[in-house]
Amino acid sequence: MDLNALRVLIQWICLIGSNAYLGFFKTKQVYQGPLKSVCVPILNCHSCPSAFFSCPIGTFQHFMTVQKIPFILLGYLSMVGMTVGAMTCGWLCPFGFLQDLMYKIKSVKIQIPKQLSSLRYLMLGLLVILFPIVTQETWFSKLCPMGTLQAALPWALWDPIIPVYGEPAVSSTGFGFLFAAKIIILVFFLGWFVVSKRPFCRTTCPLGAIFGFFNAHSLLRLKVDNQNCKDCFKCSENCPVDLHVGENPNASTCVRCLKCLECEHVKLTVGGLGDKVNFGFLRKKVPSKNKKVDRNG
């Protein structure tokens, strides 16, 4: 099994494993057991009927609305970030996986300008931190397309009587402005997923912004052997976030999918031990292009 097949397998396992609670059919409630105290390092809505774990961004916003610092969550996210950077985005996140799958649909493809990646920090600063502190409302959750896909749509389509409220999940208040806005945002992103590589991860995801910050400092890093690089750009062609790996292998938008390891001149290092530890087993053998390509054209 090559590295990419292993990644896809792990993405499937994570998608199913983190959403495998079937008790909701009986209780008509979200899972309420001890696993909900665990935030998975991925964007996975904890209001999804079958979600086992909590969403770190939803939890973060909750702490902001009650104006408390989420020490455990910050420690946990920092721990993950400083160990593997944004690798969970590339290997575990179901929303990232969905984007990878939808980009395979044949269509016109559009590149995303690099500058738009700064929007993630704006989302994090405004919708996850500032607005929830000021208004006591979880603004990112209100608009999150993953929440719409995993929670809003399933609950709306199923629409059971929720025991706690004694009312249907959605039809009691009808499809209001917020619900309509959520659907429009979701449709917009689903369309964007088809034409661009991981647009949500690169322009919107606040969790990706947090983990991406650690990419340049984490123990697990990528290193390019520029001296022997043949400029074949194989690493960049494969990249799911359109990075020029040779220029900046540890960019904040990198999701550490490790597809670029298909080139023998890109190496994986752990704490600077890359030259001593052999990660060759991760590499799929591909014929290398020996022809030098002119970078300017």
Partner 1 sequence: MMRWGIFAVAFVIVLVFFLIGDSRNEVLEIQNNGATMCMACIGLE
Determine the residue type at 244.
H
| Cβ distance to partner 1 smaller for residue 81 or 96 | 81
| Cβ distance to partner 1 smaller for residue 14 or 39 | 39
Q: What angle do CA 10, 80, 151 make, to 5 degrees?
A: 60
Which letter does DSSP use for residue 277 in this model?
S
Nearest approach, Cβ of 72 to partner 1 (angstroms)?
A: 3
- Name the phi and psi angles at 201, rounded to 5: -60, -40
Residue 197's DSSP bridge partners are none
**Where along the sequence are the contacts to partner 1 (CB under 8 A)?**
29-34, 36-39, 45-47, 51, 53-55, 58-59, 62-63, 68, 70-76, 78-79, 82-83, 137-138, 141-142, 144, 147-148, 151-152, 155-156, 162, 164, 169-170, 173, 176, 178-179, 182, 217, 219, 271-272
Dihedral of CA 203/250/56/31: which sign?
A: positive
Dihedral of CA 34/36/37/39: which sign?
A: positive
> Contact at 8 Å (CB) between 83 and 66?
no
| Cβ distance to partner 1 smaller for residue 46 or 120 | 46
Nearest approach, Cβ of 247 to partner 1 (angstroms)?
A: 21
| Cβ distance to partner 1 smaller for residue 123 or 170 | 170
Which segments within the chain are labelled E, that is strand?
Answer: 161-162, 167-168, 220-224, 266-270
What SS3 class is residue 161?
strand
Nearest approach, Cβ of 261 to partner 1 (angstroms)?
A: 20
Nearest approach, Cβ of 141 to partner 1 (angstroms)?
A: 5
Nearest approach, Cβ of 148 to partner 1 (angstroms)?
A: 7
| Cβ distance to partner 1 smaller for residue 7 or 182 | 182
